[in-house]
Amino acid sequence: MSRSAHPAGPRHADVLPEGHYSAPPADLNALDPKVWARTVGRDEHGVLTVGGIDVKQLAEEFGTPAYILDEADFRARARAWRTAFGSDADVFYAGKAFLSRAVVRWLHEEGLNLDVCSGGELATALSAGMPADRIAFHGNNKSPAEIERAVRAGVGRIVLDSFQEIVRVAHIAQSLGKRQRVQIRITVGVEAHTHEFIATAHEDQKFGIPLAGGQAAEAVRRALQLDGLEVIGIHSHIGSQIFDMSGFEVAAHRVVGLLREIRDEHGIELPEIDLGGGLGIAYTSDDDPREPHEIAKALTEIVTRECEAARLSTPRISVEPGRAIVGPTAFTLYEVGTVKPLEGLRTYVSVDGGMSDNIRTALYDAEYSVALASRSSDAEPMLCRVVGKHCESGDIVVRDAFLPGDLAPGDLIAVPATGAYCRSMASNYNHVLRPPVVAVDGGGARVIVRRETEEDLLRLDVG
Ligand code: LLP
Do 436 and 67 contact (CB within 8 A), yes or no?
yes
Confidence grade of residue 2 (pLDDT, cut at 50, 70, 90): very low
Nearest CA to ligand 1 atom 9: 277
Q: Which residues of 381-393 are buried (b: 16+ CB within 10 A; e: fewer)?
A: bbbbbbbbbbeee
* Percent of the chain's residues with pLDDT above 90: 89
Q: Does the CB atom of residue 137 touch ligand 1 within 6 A?
A: no
| pLDDT higher than threshold 80 for residue 439 | yes
The C-alpha atoms of residue 145 and residue 394 are separated, in whole angstroms, by 38
Max CA-CA distance within the chain? 77
What spacing in Å lies between the alpha carbon of 9 and ligand 1's midpoint?
A: 37
Nearest CA to ligand 1 atom 15: 278
Among 320, 329, 358, 418, which is best to mutate for testing ligand 1, by the most ligand atoms less than 8 A from CB?
Answer: 320
Among 185, 186, 323, which is best to mutate for testing ligand 1, by the most ligand atoms less than 8 A from CB?
Answer: 323
* Percent of the chain's residues with pLDDT above 70: 93
- Residue 298 has phi, psi (to 5 degrees) of -60, -50
The C-alpha atoms of residue 62 and residue 59 are separated, in whole angstroms, by 5
Do 310 and 83 contact (CB within 8 A), yes or no?
no
Half-sphere exposure of 53 (CA within 13 A, CB side): 22
- Count of other CB atoms within 10 angstroms of residue 344: 10
| pLDDT higher than threshold 60 for residue 7 | no
Look up residue 200 and give its DSSP letter: -
In three-state secondary structure terms, 57 is helix
What's residue 24's pLDDT?
Answer: 86
Do 446 and 438 contact (CB within 8 A), yes or no?
yes
Among 74, 90, 92, 96, which is best to mutate for testing ligand 1, by the most ligand atoms less than 8 A from CB?
Answer: 96
The C-alpha atoms of residue 121 and residue 127 are separated, in whole angstroms, by 10
Residue 69 vs residue 15, higher pLDDT: 69
What's residue 20's pLDDT?
Answer: 64
**Of 239, 215, 234, the residue nearest 273 (C-alpha):** 234
Three-class secondary structure assignment of 414-443: EEECCCCCCHHHCCCHHHCCCCCEEEEECC
Nearest CA to ligand 1 atom 8: 277
| pLDDT higher than threshold 70 for residue 10 | no
Q: Does the CB atom of residue 185 touch ligand 1 within 6 A?
A: no
Mean pLDDT, range 30-59, rounded to an integer: 97
- Residue 171 has phi, psi (to 5 degrees) of -65, -45
Among 92, 93, 240, which is best to mutate for testing ligand 1, by the most ligand atoms less than 8 A from CB?
Answer: 240
Provide the mean pLDDT of the chain.
94
What's residue 195's pLDDT?
Answer: 66
Look up residue 408 and give its DSSP letter: -
What's residue 16's pLDDT?
Answer: 63
Interacting residues of 401 by C-beta distance below 8 A, sequence separation 6+: 21, 368, 369, 370, 383, 384, 385, 386
What's residue 295's pLDDT?
Answer: 94
Mean pLDDT, range 178-207, rounded to an integer: 82
What's residue 23's pLDDT?
Answer: 82
Confidence grade of residue 22 (pLDDT, cut at 50, 70, 90): confident
The C-alpha atoms of residue 181 and residue 156 are separated, in whole angstroms, by 6
Residue 3 vs residue 351, higher pLDDT: 351
Confidence grade of residue 8 (pLDDT, cut at 50, 70, 90): very low
Candidate CATH numbers 2.60.120.260, 3.20.20.10, 3.40.50.150, 3.40.50.300; the one for domain 138-321? 3.20.20.10
Residue-wise DSSP of 313-342: PPPEEEE--SHHHHGGGEEEEEEEEEEEE-
| pLDDT higher than threshold 60 for residue 11 | no
What spacing in Å lies between the alpha carbon of 240 and ligand 1's midpoint?
A: 5
Nearest CA to ligand 1 atom 23: 421
Closest atom of ligand 1 relative to the 366 alpha carbon: 25
The C-alpha atoms of residue 184 and residue 163 are separated, in whole angstroms, by 10
Q: Does the CB atom of residue 320 touch ligand 1 within 6 A?
A: yes
Do 305 and 345 contact (CB within 8 A), yes or no?
no
Q: Does the CB atom of residue 237 touch ligand 1 within 6 A?
A: yes
Three-class secondary structure assignment of 213-265: HHHHHHHHHHHHCCCCEEEEEEECCCECCECCCHHHHHHHHHHHHHHHHHHHH
Mean pLDDT, range 175-193, rounded to an integer: 91
Nearest CA to ligand 1 atom 16: 421
Q: Does the CB atom of residue 198 touch ligand 1 within 6 A?
A: yes
Q: Does the CB atom of residue 276 touch ligand 1 within 6 A?
A: yes
Mean pLDDT, range 44-57, rounded to an integer: 97
Q: Which fold has domain 13-70+328-459?
A: Lyase, Ornithine Decarboxylase; Chain A, domain 1 (2.40.37)
What spacing in Å lies between the alpha carbon of 52 and ligand 1's midpoint?
A: 31
Nearest CA to ligand 1 atom 5: 237
| pLDDT higher than threshold 60 for residue 179 | yes
**Of 294, 184, 290, the residue nearest 237 (C-alpha):** 184
The catalytic site residues sit at: 391
Structural domain spans, the chain: 13-70+328-459, 138-321
**Of 192, 187, 183, the residue nearest 274 (C-alpha):** 183
Q: Does the CB atom of residue 282 touch ligand 1 within 6 A?
A: no
Mean pLDDT, range 96-115, rounded to an integer: 98
Q: Does the CB atom of residue 40 touch ligand 1 within 6 A?
A: no
